[in-house]
Amino acid sequence: MSMQLNQVNQLVSQLNEARKQIPPAAARAVIDSVLSGEPNDDLLTLVGIIAGQNIQAEELLIAIRNELIAVSNS
């Protein structure tokens, strides 16, 4: 494999790993935002950050549910 192809492969792997981390991080941001005194600005900012990232609503809802469970168990 050429050095350029290897670099592309590594970048794609990093991108895939980062993409897996978006729903849980977004879920934590949603919960923190709702618990704060002024969630509207934070929620709008979050929507702007994740817009166009090909995150499915189901992924985000599952992550929010999992985060709520984790918060309630701690």
Instruction: Write the pLDDT tens digit of every residue in 5-22.
Output: 999 999 999 999 999 999
45 within some domain: yes
60 within some domain: yes
Nearest CA to 42 out of 30, 51, 52 is that of 30
Domain count, the chain: 1
42 within some domain: yes
35 within some domain: yes
First to last CA, the chain: 47
One-letter amino acid identity for 17?
Answer: E
11 within some domain: no
Instruction: Please give the residue range of the domain that contains residue 56.
Output: 22-73
Question: For 39, which DSSP code?
Answer: H
Nearest CA to 33 out of 21, 47, 19, 22 is that of 47
CA angle 36, 66, 51 (to 5 degrees): 65
Query: 28-59 pLDDT, tens per residue?
Result: 998 988 888 777 888 888 989 888 888 888 99
